């Protein structure tokens, strides 16, 4: 017999359906560098910034409750990707860091 979905799963499913519902199939305007920064940071907020603390808490609990030293490091080139895009300047990196 199937288990009823948990409130957390139900909320996650609801968020994904809304995200897909509100996502256009085609872009009507070209993305700017600032848009790419905002998109990537929103992704980080929904993944790493929520899940990494949960991972650490779960590991600490399973290992007896002691605090673990940091062992994950998340790196990115958001805002600093200088591969020839003329719109990527120092102000772009400052925006991403802010």
pLDDT confidence of residue 22: 80
- Fill in the DSSP letter of residue 1: -
The mean of the pLDDT values for the chain is 84
pLDDT tens profile 41-87: 888 888 888 889 999 999 999 998 788 898 988 888 787 777 777 87
pLDDT confidence of residue 2: 63
**Would you kindly state where each structural domain of the chain is located, as residue ranges?**
31-97
pTM (whole model) above 0.75: no
Give exposure, 26-41, as e/b (b: 16+ Cβ within 10 Å): eeeeeeebeebbeeee
């Amino acid at each position: 017999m199937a288990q009823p979905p948990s409130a957390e799963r139900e909320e996650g499913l609801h968020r994904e359906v809304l995200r897909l519902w509100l996502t256009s199939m085609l872009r009507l305007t070209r993305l700017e560098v600032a848009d790419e920064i905002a998109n990537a940071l929103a992704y980080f907020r929904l993944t790493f910034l929520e899940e990494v603390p949960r991972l650490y808490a779960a590991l600490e609990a399973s290992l007896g409750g002691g605090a673990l030293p940091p062992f994950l490091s998340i790196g990115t080139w958001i805002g600093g990707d200088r591969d020839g895009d003329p719109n990527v300047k120092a102000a772009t990196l400052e925006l991403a860091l802010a």
